[in-house]
Amino acid sequence: MAARDLVQVPRSAAVLAAEPGSGRPPDPSALAGRLSTLIGGPQAKINAVVIDAETRRQLYELRAGQPATPASTTKLATSVAALASVGPAHRIATRVVRGAGGRIVLVGGGDPTLTALPPRPGAGHPPYASLTDLARQTATALKASGTSQVRVDYDASAYQGPRTAAGWKPNYLPDGEVAPVSALTVDEGRVSPSDPSKKTRVADPPATAAREFARLLSQNGVSAKAGRQTVAQKEAEPLGVVQSPPLSALVEHLLTDSDNDVAEAVARQVAIKTGRPATFAEAAQAVRQVLAGLGVAEGVSVNDGSGLSPLNRISPIALARIVSLAAGGDHPDLRPVITGLPIAGFSGTLSPPRYTVAASQAGAGMVRAKTGTLSGVSTLAGLAHDADGRLLAFAFMAGDGKGPVDPGKLDQLAAAVAGCGCG
């Protein structure tokens, strides 16, 4: 992710998506007429729902309560749970402490933005945690104590369990869809982080991070070599620390750009906050536990935080309720979910060519939604003000994983919601 930016959303768009609107809700029969024509009848492989975002009254449904594969719309559940439990101001720390016998320990806290790349002026995001800065801090502390040579051990014990989730396909890692999930990763484990066209990831992110840190220490006047995996002592002397951007910025980015690495890191933070082991399974349970406390867990069953697992199941009504909750005024800490949603035809995964053709152009700038794509599956869940000014939440989930799907059809459906003057 170091080669990409945490998105800055236009203020006008944020206001548009957050206000409930003063118009009347659309007439359900009129809305159904518009959507049914596009869907093509009850035999179509689409589950769908539209609700009033303020009252959560159901205005249209087609198998709305039937769970389907959510793909990356899973990130909506992850993000709401993280903001509600961990909080929007939380930052993830990466530390260096003294070890035994002339060793130091690089301790990962699960920060997905930790980078060894130089800062980019005008990048438009809060500063990333810098491994270079951490090396400078550490070198200064070591020199002050008369230490000029060290071994760099590493501690990735903040996460436990396997580095891939149930259902993940074997090609995800070699294709660079995600790195092996670890509490210590630099530049999202990319082999060539300065070249965004190259997605290949390293096989062992923590060991790679230790080697890179040793190199940076040596550049700062302390001779260093990478050591072994260990667990740092809690009372160990601190030598340096850097912190991630706030969780609010991480959530905006993972939703806008559908960043799988950040989503998995954020899900782990929910597990840690709720006192669970930071594994895939426990993070999924922690997310559902927090959603249950918010009253929006029904219809949600997941195995990861990103939505890469085709075993995940979420119903359309669950997605629409989650979005409505984030858009409402009762939970202001959830607002980064709304400001992070891609804007149709303008930003993130809804950038052109989406919403630039005649069939969906009415939704451009009026729809904010999270996309989801897996083999044979396409999903879209978000918000739209209709033509009467009423804020509506929707979820459209197409495909059964067995045949081709057209995300353009979902764009047309969302555009029809936005264009409905059906009050």
The residues assigned a catalytic role are 72, 75, 258
Give dist(CA 184, CA 108) in Å, integer. Answer: 4
End-to-end CA distance of the chain: 44
Give dist(CA 172, CA 374) in Å, integer. Answer: 11
| Parallel, antiparallel or unpaired: strands 46-52 and 391-398 | antiparallel
| 252 sits in which H/E element | helix 247-256
Three-class secondary structure of residue 289 per DSSP: helix
Give dist(CA 209, CA 154) in Å, integer. Answer: 8
Bridge-partner residues for 58, per DSSP?
A: 51
| 227 sits in which H/E element | strand 223-229
Instruction: Give yes or no for a contact between 102 and 216, defined as CB atoms under 8 angstroms apart.
Output: no
Q: Where are the alpha helices (DSSP H) in 172-220?
A: 205-219
Q: Give residues with Cβ within 8 angstroms of 266, minimum separation 6.
A: 78, 79, 82, 112, 247, 250, 251, 254, 305
In angstroms, how far is CA 46 from the centroid of its own chain? 24
Largest CA distance in the chain: 78
CA-wise closest residue to 377 among 69, 77, 63, 41: 69
Give dist(CA 203, CA 206) in Å, integer. Answer: 9
Here the tokens at position 206 are 């923590």
Instruction: Give yes or no for a contact between 342 and 369, defined as CB atoms under 8 angstroms apart.
Output: yes
Residue at 422: amino acid letter: C
125 dihedral zone (left: phi>0; alpha: psi -120 to 50; beta): beta
Beta strands in 297-410 (DSSP E): 300-301, 313-314, 367-374, 377-385, 391-398
Give dist(CA 274, CA 293) in Å, integer. Answer: 12
